[in-house]
Structure 1
Amino acid sequence: MFKKSFAATAMIFALATPALAQQDLHAALTAAMGEAIEDARYVDVTTKYGMPAPDLSDPTLVNSEDYPYPEVMPGTLLAHVLDTHKLSLGWIPVGAPWAIPGENPSQPIGFSVDYFDIIQEKLNAHYNTDIDLEWVSFTESAGNNDMYLWLSTSDDVDCTAEDRVVDGCYDVIGGAYAINERRSGLTDITPSYYPFNMAAIRTNVPLPEGVAPIRNADDIRAAMADPTINIAIAGLPETGEDSILTAFNIAMGSTFTHIDRTPGSNVLEYAQNSEDAHFVLGSNVRMASTRMKYPEFCIKCELFENFSAFRGIGFATALID
C-alpha cells in the first residue's frame, strides 16, 4: 500500500478529462439504477433494512424513463469496465445501514450492496456481458469527503498517472453518498435512489411552559426560534446532526440549547433515557434502521420527519466537468 499524495497538477489532469469520456459510465450506472429501483426486489431490500419503500413518483428519485443507457464509445471509462468485465466500487466501513463489514471484512453487506446486486444484473443484461463487482474499502483517516480523490477517470483508469498515487482506486463510490453542496462540487453524483432527511424524535422530558402544540417539524423550529422557551435538542458530534444544529443556532441567535449526544450511542435509547433534551436528531434512515434493530427503545416516542431535508442518497463517479 502506498501513501496517498496528490499534486495540484495531478488533480487538474484528473479532472480535465473530456466530458463525454467521463459521462458514459455515470450515464450507464444511472440507467441501471432506474431499472433497479423499479424492480420488485428493491422493495424487498428496503424492507430488509427496516426502511419504508419510497414513493417512486418522487421527482428527486432516479427512474428508467428519463435516464437511457449510452452507447459504448472507445476510450471511455465505460468501455474499460466492459472490456475488463470489472466494476470497482469504493465504500467506507462505517456507513450503516448502507455498507458495513461482513463476515469477510473486505466484503461489505448492507442496503447499497444488495441494491448494487440488482444494478449489476441490469448492466449485464443491457450490455450483454458479465461484469464482476470489486469492493474497495476506503480507510483514509482524513474523512470520507476525500473518497472522490480515489475515483478513476477515463484518462487514468487505475489511478497510476504521474504524481497520482493512492491506497486504492475505484470507478464508483458504491456505498451511500449523501448529496450535498460540498460534495457536488467535488464529484459527479447520480440522482437519488433513496430520500434522505433529518428527523427529530420527541423524548420523555416535559416541554417548557408556553410551548404551542408540536404537530410537525415546522412547530419544532418555531419553538427553537423563541428565546423565551429554550428548547433543548441533541445531535451527534462531528456529524450532519451537529452541523445542522450549529447552523440553526447561529441563524436564530442562540435561542435554543444544543446538546451533544453521547458518541456511539443508540439514538432511540438516548432519546428514551435523556434527562435534558426535548428532541434528538437523527436521519430518517438511522431512525428506521435503529427501530428495526432495537424495537424495545422509545416505543411511544413521536417521530417528526423532514426537520431538515436533503437531496437524497446516490452514488458517485469522477467529476465530469
Structure 2
Amino acid sequence: MFKTSLAAVAALTALAAPAIAQQDLKAAIVAAMGEAVEDARYPGVLEKYGLPAPDLSDPTLANSKDNPYPEVKDGSLLSHVIDTGSVRLGWIGVGAPWAIPSKEDASIPVGLSVDLWNMMQEYLNAHYDTNIALDWVEYTDSAGNNDMYRWLSAADDLNCDANGREANGCYDVIGGAYAINARRKGISDITPAYYPLNMSVVRTNVPLPDGVGPLDDAEAIRAAMKDPNVDIVLAGLPDTGEDSILSNFTKEYGETFTHIDRTPGSKVLEFAQDQDKAHFVLGTNVRMASMRFALPELCADCAIIPNLLVFGGVGFATALPE
C-alpha cells in the first residue's frame, strides 16, 4: 500500500481533527487483530494459558472480513508508526494470563497479550511491507489502569506533553488487555475484543444465610444481592474493576448486600479458599481459568460461576477522543 503524497492532500490530512487522524491506526490494529484471532496458531496460544478457543462468530470479537486495512495517509498516527518503524505499546501488570513482568526483565511483559501482539506484528508488517518494532512502555502511575488513557499519544501530541499534559511515559496503543466498559469507552477509542471477558464469582465454603441458596448461577446471585432480606457478602480487590463493579451494584441496589475488600496482593482462588466472611469473591473468568490451569490446588473445591457481569470483551485503546 503506497502512502498518499500529493501536497494538497497532505495539508488537508495534517489539519484533520485528531480523532479522524487517529482512526487509521485503530483500523490497522483491528485488521491485524482480526487476522491474528483467526490464525490457526491462536488456539494453541490460548491453550498455553488454560483457555478454550472462543466462538469466532461472537460479534464482540475482531474479524478480518469486516475490518480492512486502511491506506497510509500523511499526518496520521499510522503514518507516524510506519515512518518511525515502532509502535509504542503501553502495558500494566494486570496479571496472568494477559501481561505479567518477565522474570529476566521486569520492565518487559510476557503473557497472552504479548503473544497476540507478536502475531499482529507479523500481519502489520506483511500488509504494509515494513518492519514495525514493538516497544513496550510500562504504565507505572499509582492512579491505576483506569487512567492509562492519560499516557496515550494523539496525532497532534505524539509525545503526550502538549497543552500542559503531564505523563511519565507515552504510547500509541494500550497493548495489554483493556476491559471494555462504559467509562473507558467515554475516554478512549477501544477496538473490538480479541477474547471475550466476563466477570465471574467464586463460591467459597462460607455457609449461606439460613433458607438461602444454593445460588449457583449469576441470575440467582444478583437476585440475592438485590434482596434486602438476604445479606450475602461479596469480596473484590480494592482500587480495581472488581471494586468498581461492587460499588456500582451498591449504587444500583442500595445497601442490600455486604461488600468487603480482598487482601491486596492475594490471588482470587487463594483468598476464596481461606475465606471465613465472603460467600463470593469476584474475578474475571479468564483470570480464573488461567489460575486453575497454573495452580489447580488453589480452592479445588470452590465453584466458579461466570457471567455475573459482562464487560463485552477486551481490546486496545488507540487514542484520546477529541
Normalising by the residue count of structure 1, what TM-score does the alignment of the two structures yield?
0.89
**Alignment-derived partner of residue 88 in structure 2:** 88
**Alignment-derived partner of residue 286 in structure 2:** 285
Aligned with 2:206: secondary structure? coil
Kept after mapping to 1: 8 A contact 2:176/2:316: yes
Aligned with 1:70: secondary structure? coil
**Alignment-derived partner of residue 3 in structure 1:** none
Structure 2 residue 25 is the aligned partner of structure 1 residue 32: no
**Alignment-derived partner of residue 222 in structure 2:** 221
**Which is worse superposed, 284-293 or 34-43?**
284-293
**Alignment-derived partner of residue 235 in structure 1:** 236
**Alignment-derived partner of residue 200 in structure 2:** 199
Structure 2 residue 175 is the aligned partner of structure 1 residue 174: yes
Kept after mapping to 1: 8 A contact 2:96/2:291: no
Kept after mapping to 1: 8 A contact 2:204/2:279: yes
Per-residue CA deviation, residues 183-233 of structure 1 (Å, 9 max, x unaligned), is: 212111111111111111111122222224434110111122223332222
Specify whether residues 233 and 140 from structure 1 end up closer, same or farther in structure 2 by C-alpha distance, changes over 3 A only.
closer
Mapping of 1:6-25 within 5 angstroms? 17-25=17-25
Q: How many Å separate the matches in 2 of 1:274 and 1:26?
A: 43
Kept after mapping to 2: 8 A contact 1:193/1:314: yes
Normalising by the residue count of structure 2, what TM-score does the alignment of the two structures yield?
0.89
Which aligned runs of 4 or more in structure 1 are off by greater than 3 angstroms?
A: 16-20, 93-96, 158-166
Q: How many Å separate the matches in 2 of 1:219 and 1:33?
A: 36
Q: Aligned residues, how many?
A: 306
State the AA in 1 paired with 2:27: A
Kept after mapping to 2: 8 A contact 1:210/1:229: no
Specify whether residues 115 and 283 from structure 1 end up closer, same or farther in structure 2 by C-alpha distance, changes over 3 A only.
same
State the AA in 2 paired with 1:24: D
Specify whether residues 250 and 182 from structure 1 end up closer, same or farther in structure 2 by C-alpha distance, changes over 3 A only.
closer
Specify whether residues 95 and 276 from structure 1 end up closer, same or farther in structure 2 by C-alpha distance, changes over 3 A only.
closer
Q: How many Å separate the matches in 1 of 2:252 and 2:164?
A: 43
**Alignment-derived partner of residue 13 in structure 1:** none
Structure 2 residue 64 is the aligned partner of structure 1 residue 64: yes
Kept after mapping to 2: 8 A contact 1:151/1:317: yes
State the AA in 2 paired with 1:303: I
Q: How many Å separate the matches in 1 of 2:310 and 2:276?
A: 27
Specify whether residues 303 and 162 from structure 1 end up closer, same or farther in structure 2 by C-alpha distance, changes over 3 A only.
closer
Kept after mapping to 2: 8 A contact 1:199/1:284: yes
Mapping of 1:91-102 within 5 angstroms? 91-102=91-102
What is the aligned-residue RMSD (CA, Å)? 1.9
**Alignment-derived partner of residue 114 in structure 2:** 113
Per-residue CA deviation, residues 112-160 of structure 1 (Å, 9 max, x unaligned), is: 1110000000101111111111111122223323322222222233345
Kept after mapping to 1: 8 A contact 2:187/2:321: no
Measured after TM superposition, the shift of residue 35 of structure 1 is 0.4
**Alignment-derived partner of residue 298 in structure 1:** 299
Q: How many Å separate the matches in 1 of 2:281 and 2:162?
A: 46
State the AA in 2 paired with 1:50: G
Per-residue CA deviation, residues 96-123 of structure 1 (Å, 9 max, x unaligned), is: 4322211112221111111000000010
State the AA in 2 paired with 1:193: Y
Aligned-pair identity (%): 64
**Alignment-derived partner of residue 54 in structure 2:** 54
Aligned with 1:136: secondary structure? strand
Aligned with 2:174: secondary structure? strand
Q: How many Å separate the matches in 1 of 2:151 and 2:231?
A: 45
Measured after TM superposition, the shift of residue 300 of structure 1 is 2.5
Measured after TM superposition, the shift of residue 48 of structure 1 is 1.4
